[in-house]
Structure 1
Amino acid sequence: MGITNSNKEINVSQVNCDGTFKVTLALAASPDISENPTDIVLILDRSGSMTGSPLTNLKLGAETFIDIIDEATDGTQDGQIGSGSHIGIVSFSSSAVADTQLITSVADLKAAVNALSAGGSTNHADAFSTAAALFDPTSTNAKVIVMFTDGKTTSGLPPAPIAAAIRASDIVIYCIGLVGDDGIDVNVLNDWATDPDSSHVAVTPNDAQLEDLFADLAANISKPGATNIVIDETVNPDFTIISVNMPTKGTAMTINAHSLQWKIPELGVSGNEGASLEFYVKHTGQMSGNLPVNQSISYVDTEGNAVTFPNPSVQVDCGIIVDPEPCPIPVDLKLEKCQDSLIVDLGDVYLESLGRIVQINLTVKNVCPHKRVALGVILTEEDKKHMEHQRGMKAITIPAHNYPNCRDVQVKCIKFVLPEDLNVSGGSGQSLCSERNLRVRVIANYIDTDFRCCDSAVVF
């Protein structure tokens, strides 16, 4: 079968600036159907929400699937499913019906698909039960169910226990979902599908893509598993890879702060098999908004499987950001609520230069709309007698914002350069290995105010 599914997902939909989240890559693979006869039951949703183009595109997708399996089993599209494999059709709405048994005639399979009409509610439990009953328990063929649906369960028994029993009997379940009027729940599809859930489910909001989804699944059935897999992942420059967990198959390593490589010697060669890799990503850029997680991801294997991964995105909320000076990644300082000054020891800075650079970030809390803020940052250095010596001051105007409510404003990348010949903290005074004791004071006040002084009145 080759690679039967591929997926990439993240565990959150939104993070704050500098937030961290988990990324999961997943693959599933199975042996070649021409050497490993397989019985496949297509479960097709014909509920009322499928009326119109969804049902039309579903029929095209199912027919394409049948044609690809026809050719994959015996090397030619001759109208017969060969090599001991079979396909069966089950359709469902308020109840399910076996439109065919497990047969080999392509003409009969397509006739059953083309005869479908939409109407009624959605009974997934009856669909699973009807499909499972088609398999011969004494057959040594691999057994696969492909469930297609566009909505939530609206009638019948809960389907999850029935799907679990089917999986326990060594029947592999794949789910294809169309985001229809009933608002399909991807988590439910993951619950029904064979583990790993994420690599046995494909969902699209556009019914025009159904034919492609069915075709991708069927095309991979013609491949003999996958060997010498190499996946190269590069995340968006706004994100940094901070850790990589050990994958369930193969090995993974970071190439640099934005790239990793996952290698799997073989997958799905002797039976249906899944693999997953988890890694953690941190937002380190300056951009807010809906940001794609990956910049690129490539897949290669010896068998030439064609594999594509989704490109998830995450909503990054950085609030209001003022960047008075462009800079590299800063060290963050935060003013807590009701705190009107800040004293902090910025620690030792080791730079191969004639001076050191202190970079300061801070957050001004609860800035009201339509008011500019004057911000003063004063840096001093403390000598051995705890006397302070001036090392610099930055005065910054924070522009007014137009949000309806008061907002926190992040001010990033305030830089001070400290020549070593001004070192009074101790040591030689000329070495970057000397300790320097610094203090930072922050003052902020509104420039704009609603206060107006009373006009003078002169009485004659």
Structure 2
Amino acid sequence: MKLMGVVSSNKEVYPSKIECDGLFKVKLTVTAEPEDDKGAPKPGATDIVITDKVNSCFKIVALSTPSKGTASLVDSRTVEWKIAALGDKKRETATLEFTVQHVGSCTGSIEVNESVTYSDKEKHKVTFPSPKIEVECGIVVVPEGCPAPVNVTIGGCDDAVEIDAGKIDLESLGRILQIDVTIRNVCPHKRVALAVIVTEVDSKDKEHKRGVKILTIPAHTRANCQDVEVRCIKFVLPESLDVSGSTDSICDSRKFKVRFISHYIDNDFTCCDVIM
């Protein structure tokens, strides 16, 4: 049986994967074939209107001229494509492309469509697929905002100007705690697991968590047990976490407690029903 009227429709996106705020293309196609009206062919479809609205995670930033008909933006997420007649004398395919940009915080595999509607004078039932695109967004942290500017005006005939810019504060202050510790009487050929836990003490002797490090200490090869010194274990202590109660920033004293947990990793124990 020979197909007539609208014989196919499609929606594609490319590339299939973008980064946060990236761009991609959307391609709409619709194909129609003339219909036989008592020996007199007539267009496969007339007065076509296709309305494509993209997901709220995206916005349309550019619209190409379609191969047939006219297209216009209804708003930042919606395009309307109108075709007076398609498939007039032979099978005919019309194509429209537009450029879409990712916006907002959506990540992962996202459906591009919010909706795609089709209508024509002949009342054909036409549907479009709902393609997905993979969006990868890295986690971005901006710890320091832009500084407030000091406005300065120099007159047209002036050679120099003196201003008092006021007071500025030091930013992103903090301290680095570097710890050395000695693990006593470590047997030869046995690795040690070492945990270092740091807390900060406020004026009411309440402790606040400030960091933990888990280290593997290599085995030594001496004949007898030896003390093993572990050096330069570093902790970063931002001044924004200061709980001393004073407001003099890095000029204040801060109190900390450091705790250690250690044990052998390697041992000679084997359960009776376990094969190692």
Question: TM-score by structure 1 length?
Answer: 0.33
How many Å separate the matches in 1 of 2:107 and 2:39? 50
Residues 34 and 252 (structure 1 numbering): CA distance in 2 closer, same or farther, change over 3 Å? Answer: same
Residue identity matched to 2:7:
T
Counterpart mapping for 1:50-61 below 5 A: none
What's 1:274 paired with?
93
1:387 deviates by 5.5
Residue identity matched to 2:151:
D
What's 1:357 paired with?
none
Counterpart mapping for 1:241-390 below 5 A: 241-321=60-140, 362=142, 375-377=143-145, 379-384=147-152, 385=162, 388-389=165-166
DSSP 3-state at the match of 2:121: coil
1:293 deviates by 0.7
Unaligned 5+ segments in structure 2 are 153-161, 173-209, 214-232, 236-257, 259-276
What's 2:44 paired with?
225
Residue identity matched to 1:14:
K
Residue identity matched to 1:229:
I
Residues 289 and 34 (structure 1 numbering): CA distance in 2 closer, same or farther, change over 3 Å? Answer: same
DSSP 3-state at the match of 1:280: strand
1:271 deviates by 1.4
Residues 278 and 452 (structure 1 numbering): CA distance in 2 closer, same or farther, change over 3 Å? Answer: closer
DSSP 3-state at the match of 2:123: coil
Deviations 1:46-79 (A, max 9, x none): xxxxxxxxxxxxxxxxxxxxxxxxxxxxxxxxxx
CA contact (8 A) 1:27 1:275 kept: yes
Counterpart mapping for 1:15-94 below 5 A: 15-33=18-36, 35=38
How many Å separate the matches in 1 of 2:45 and 2:116? 18
Say whether 1:2 aligns with 2:17: no
DSSP 3-state at the match of 1:18: coil
Residues 391 and 231 (structure 1 numbering): CA distance in 2 closer, same or farther, change over 3 Å? Answer: farther
Deviations 1:150-172 (A, max 9, x none): xxxxxxxxxxxxxxxxxxxxxxx
Unaligned 5+ segments in structure 1 are 38-141, 143-222, 323-361, 363-374, 396-446, 456-460
1:32 deviates by 1.4
Residue identity matched to 2:31:
A
How many Å separate the matches in 2 of 1:22 and 1:4? 24
Counterpart mapping for 1:70-149 below 5 A: none
Deviations 1:272-319 (A, max 9, x none): 111000000000121111111110010000001110001111011112
Aligned length: 169
Q: Which structure has the greater CA radius of gyration?
A: 2
CA contact (8 A) 2:59 2:76 kept: yes
Deviations 1:382-434 (A, max 9, x none): 23257545699998xxxxxxxxxxxxxxxxxxxxxxxxxxxxxxxxxxxxxxx
DSSP 3-state at the match of 2:90: coil
| Greater share of strand | 2
Residue identity matched to 2:150:
E
CA contact (8 A) 1:378 1:393 kept: no
Residues 17 and 29 (structure 1 numbering): CA distance in 2 closer, same or farther, change over 3 Å? Answer: same
CA contact (8 A) 1:381 1:391 kept: no
Deviations 1:25-54 (A, max 9, x none): 0011001156569xxxxxxxxxxxxxxxxx
1:2 deviates by 0.7
How many Å separate the matches in 2 of 1:247 and 1:255? 16
Residues 265 and 290 (structure 1 numbering): CA distance in 2 closer, same or farther, change over 3 Å? Answer: same
How many Å separate the matches in 1 of 2:82 and 2:169? 52
1:379 deviates by 1.9
CA contact (8 A) 2:43 2:85 kept: no
Percent identity between the aligned chains? 38
What's 2:272 paired with?
none
Residue identity matched to 2:35:
D
Residue identity matched to 1:13:
S
What's 2:240 paired with?
none
1:381 deviates by 1.7
Residues 228 and 394 (structure 1 numbering): CA distance in 2 closer, same or farther, change over 3 Å? Answer: farther
1:448 deviates by 4.6
How many Å separate the matches in 2 of 1:227 and 1:392? 69
CA contact (8 A) 2:15 2:24 kept: yes
Say whether 1:12 aligns with 2:15: yes
Deviations 1:123-153 (A, max 9, x none): xxxxxxxxxxxxxxxxxxx9xxxxxxxxxxx
Residue identity matched to 2:91:
N
